Chains A and B, each alone.
Chain A
Amino acid sequence: MSMKISMIKPGLLSTIQDLGRYRYLSQAVPVSGVMDELAHRLANKAVGNDDNNATIEFTYADASFKAETAILVSYSGDGACLVYNNELMPAEKPLFFPAGSVIKLIHNTIGARTYLAIAGGWDVPDIMESRSTYLTAAFGGFKGRALQKADVLVSGTIITEVSKGILEQLIDRSLTYPNWRISRESLLPENRQSIRVVLANEISWFDATSIISFLTNSFTIHRRSNRMGYHLSGKPLVRRVKKELLSTAVTPGIIQVTGSGDLVILMADCQTTGGYPRIAHVAAVDLSLCAQLKPGDVIHFSEISRDEAEALYLEREHDLSLITMAISLKYIKT
């Protein structure tokens, strides 16, 4: 059974993404994939999908779509709230909409990006082992481009046993959803302006005052920020070592320092190699916080060790696996 929607309004930037494209990095194909991995994975978990199923990544709100068939979807993220018949839809929870439903995304001031998952995942071709859209080279996702008005998107026909279980309980002539939801808040730190970082290999290239300044001053997200990276405005850093870094591999989360001393946080569509010295990388668990930042937002960085960052990562993976297990137990009869 395939589910189907049509885009009424595409919004500012809506693309299909999954967890990214990793096997072609040596050919300089960027990872791409979702900016907010946590929100994407929770949206998928809430409908019983695998974490790597493709979702729609909406940037801000001002989008709407119509369910051409009955659909089982869920959403997560801080860029928008889903509204149906003037009723606010709960996030991180499976939602069953009957055919013909019109669903709108309305503004949520907290963040930037929202993920819409459908049971079975959005069905677009697998390009180099991923369904992620990479706009610069116009491949992946839906025809290698952002979604447009009147695009018709369908779900994959193979759904998990969990999705089947959810659907059996919810299928109805009207909007329905269960009484449980995943608590995304419990997985995120309370202070979302504080971004934890691990100092990078070229840390000694910067003078001591600049390193202190990096860890104590605030930085503002510049308008020139996109899926490739966030430019930060703040006090420029001063280099102690002036030599050039020969281009080497970079990865989302790395904070580069440009020739003028400005900071750039590399994000999902970043190039695979870079020649700017790096001062730190964002702890993987806090990349989701970065994904929700908007121009004008103010952040500061706090240092943690490499081992702490890894421990936080493994801890979150453990929590996420418990969530998957809890949802399975609800719907899989043993």
Chain B
Amino acid sequence: MTEQVGYFETDIPLKIYGLSEKSVTITFGTAIDNDLLDLITDFNQLLLQNPFSGLITTVPAYTTLTVFFDPLSVMLSDLPGEVCFEKVSAHLNKIAQTKREKSKVIANKLVIPVCYGGDFGPDLLMVARTNNLSETEVIDIHTAGQYLVFMIGFVPGFAYMGGMDSRLSTPRKEVPNAKIPTGSVGIAGNQTGIYPMETPGGWQIIGKTPLKMFDVNRSQPSLLKGGDLVTFKAIGIKEFNTYAEI
């Protein structure tokens, strides 16, 4: 018989604060951490499988999980408490006492093709110079790594990915670009990410993917989700042009 492990030690309530009349946020930790991401992912699944009356949706982030709900439905529910915050907290604390199970959400492993440098990666040279590398070395190091999607934020489908080799670490631009083209692959500090649509942005752009990172016509419009594992593959311009998607 295996030992049962709850989400937290018994009787220690979750750290919850009210974000608005329609949402609360649970704080699970204080720093970006792979184990914390697993914990948040597992708890999120547990909640979605055991919803309370009025639950609308959840938003996982680096150290938090935010729960959105309809206050009217919550008030009409028989959860203990006088106000929505107490009622929702009661439910969250109750399910936190149950046995922690590994989430059944399958972390996708995706290979994302990228055409590095040139017009697609105007800051590749900058990243290389900052780190005393050649452009080829930057591409080699960037494609050698495996990246973990920590959260989706900023604009629809934008994945914040951690796990980048610190040899590529480059600060954000002091003055953001007004327009970063769709599909641009960038670096900011120790993170890497892909712009799913044309927006202003301050990341160092090293290449471009022909994949659609966000598409309203897909059942899951965002190609990536928290917990996914990503690797990059260098492709040439000819191969880039064979993708008709963008």
Residues of A261-284 contacting chain B, CB below 8 A: 271-273, 281, 283-284
Residues of B28-71 contacting chain A, CB below 8 A: 30-32, 56-64, 66, 68, 71
Residues of A292-319 contacting chain B, CB below 8 A: 306-307, 309-310, 313-314, 317
Indicate whether A25 reaches chain B with its CB closer than 8 angstroms.
yes
- Cα-based distance from A22 to B54 in the complex (angstroms): 13
Label chain B's interface by main secondary structure: mixed
B155 touches A28 (CB 8 A): yes
- Cα-based distance from A250 to B153 in the complex (angstroms): 10
A254 touches B19 (CB 8 A): yes
Which residues does chain B contribute within 8 Å of A23, judged by CB atoms? Answer: 56-57
- Cα-based distance from A201 to B64 in the complex (angstroms): 13
Contact-size category for A:
35 or more
Determine the residue in chain A with the shortest Cβ distance to B221.
Answer: A27
Q: Flag the segment in B3-11, B95-103, B115-123, B156-164 that touches A.
A: B156-164
Residues of B65-103 contacting chain A, CB below 8 A: 66, 68, 71-72, 75, 83-85
| Closest chain A CB from B149 CB (angstroms) | 12
Indicate whether B152 reaches chain A with its CB closer than 8 angstroms.
yes
Which residues does chain A contribute within 8 Å of B61, judged by CB atoms? Answer: 246-249, 273
| Closest chain A CB from B34 CB (angstroms) | 14
Query: Footprint of A on B, CB under 8 Å?
Result: 17-23, 25, 30-32, 56-64, 66, 68, 71-72, 75, 83-85, 151-158, 160, 197, 199, 214, 216, 220-222, 225-226
Interface string of A225-264 (1 = CB under 8 A from B): 0000000000000000000001111110110000000000
- Cα-based distance from A314 to B75 in the complex (angstroms): 9
Which residues does chain A contribute within 8 Å of B21, judged by CB atoms? Answer: 283-284, 309-310, 313
Indicate whether A85 reaches chain B with its CB closer than 8 angstroms.
no
Which residues does chain B contribute within 8 Å of A273, judged by CB atoms? Answer: 59, 61, 151, 153-154
| Closest chain B CB from A320 CB (angstroms) | 11
Which residues does chain B contribute within 8 Å of A29, judged by CB atoms? Answer: 156, 221
- Cα-based distance from A284 to B71 in the complex (angstroms): 11
| Closest chain B CB from A55 CB (angstroms) | 21
